[in-house]
Amino acid sequence: MPLAPAVVLLGVFFAGPVVWSVLLSFTDASLTGSAARGTSFVGLDNVVTLVQDPAVWNAVVITVVFVVGSAVIGQNGLGLALALMLRGRGTAVRSLVTLPVMAAYVVPEIVAAFVWYAFLNPEGTLNTALGGLGLPGQSWLFTVPVLAVVLANIWRGTAFSMLIYLAALSQVPADVDEQAQVDGASGWTRLRYVTIPMIRRAIGTNLVLVTLQTLQVFTLIFVMTAGGPGDKSETLPLLMYEQAFQYAALGYGTAIALVLLAIGAVFSLGYIRAIGKEEI
């Protein structure tokens, strides 16, 4: 059966670990120490610890801020704005904008992280530019770490939304918009009542996709701030990494991973609703 290799690979490396992790989250498994040898069943202890752990709640709040700020508002909003503004512009303007936006998207995540580390460093370009304008600079990664990683992630991911919306807008029949224009509707009114409703599906799909992508961002934050200072930019993936690999609490790290998986699964179901029905 030609399906078999795919089923095996997905089963062993996807479903297996996920099921495994559900089981593991009921144990006190760890990388070192006595629990590494004799793992025992601890029932809902991890869940109880999880819910009572202020670090988890801190990470949940920061994750929500990061996802809403960089994906929902940032990438999605800026991507839509760019696509709308690019409509009807000349080829020169189009390439001038799409080239750097796409370049930011193509660059590997870790390079994007270096680039933003340099840009926001106290001796970096941003402070130099602000100094040139007579404005005070600061250590952005230290004073506003969440804003720093939000900006970097907007920079990195906006191209995706922009491409989705450029494609969606090119499907909108021009005569509807022109008719509204002839009827005297202003730019904002046409946008609100004609264009946006016509690309509603694309907006839904894009929101789900950028949310899913941003939920799992690890490298960018790990390199730029490592979750710090303290735990000020520690999202769920970073907390999970810290618990599992730095503190060697594999069982607890898995429990956090499950929270992340559960959030992802909810959005993934939204994704299936958004695009699955028509394409299967």
Binding to another protein, residues 170-229 (CB under 8 A)? 170, 174, 178, 181-182, 187, 208-209, 212-213, 215-219, 223
- Out of 41, 106, 183, 278, the only residue in the binding site for another protein (CB under 8 A) is 106
Q: Is 181 within 8 Å of 190 (Cβ atoms)?
A: yes
The interface region with another protein, picked from 47-55, 136-144, 157-165, 193-201 by CB under 8 A, is 157-165
Q: Is 82 within 8 Å of 154 (Cβ atoms)?
A: no
The interface region with another protein, picked from 50-58, 68-76, 101-109, 193-201 by CB under 8 A, is 101-109
Q: Smallest distance from the beta carbon of 248 to another protein, in angstroms?
A: 11
Q: Which of 109, 115, 142, 137 has its CA nearest to residue 228? A: 142
CB-nearer residue toward another protein: 43 or 279: 279
Q: Is 117 within 8 Å of 109 (Cβ atoms)?
A: no
The interface region with another protein, picked from 44-52, 98-106, 139-147, 193-201 by CB under 8 A, is 98-106
The interface region with another protein, picked from 50-58, 69-77, 133-141, 252-260 by CB under 8 A, is 252-260
- Out of 14, 176, 193, 201, the only residue in the binding site for another protein (CB under 8 A) is 14
- Out of 146, 148, 207, 260, the only residue in the binding site for another protein (CB under 8 A) is 260
Decide if residue 276 touches another protein (CB under 8 A). Answer: yes
Q: Smallest distance from the beta carbon of 178 to another protein, in angstroms?
A: 6
- Out of 95, 176, 196, 229, the only residue in the binding site for another protein (CB under 8 A) is 95
Total of residues contacting another protein (CB under 8 A): 106
Facing residues of 27 across strands? 41
- Out of 24, 59, 207, 239, the only residue in the binding site for another protein (CB under 8 A) is 24
The interface region with another protein, picked from 19-27, 42-50, 69-77, 136-144 by CB under 8 A, is 19-27
> In the window 37-76, what residues touch another protein (CB under 8 A)?
none
CB-nearer residue toward another protein: 146 or 240: 240
Q: Which of 39, 60, 84, 32 has its CA nearest to residue 202? A: 84
Q: Smallest distance from the beta carbon of 116 to another protein, in angstroms?
A: 6
Q: Smallest distance from the beta carbon of 52 to another protein, in angstroms?
A: 20
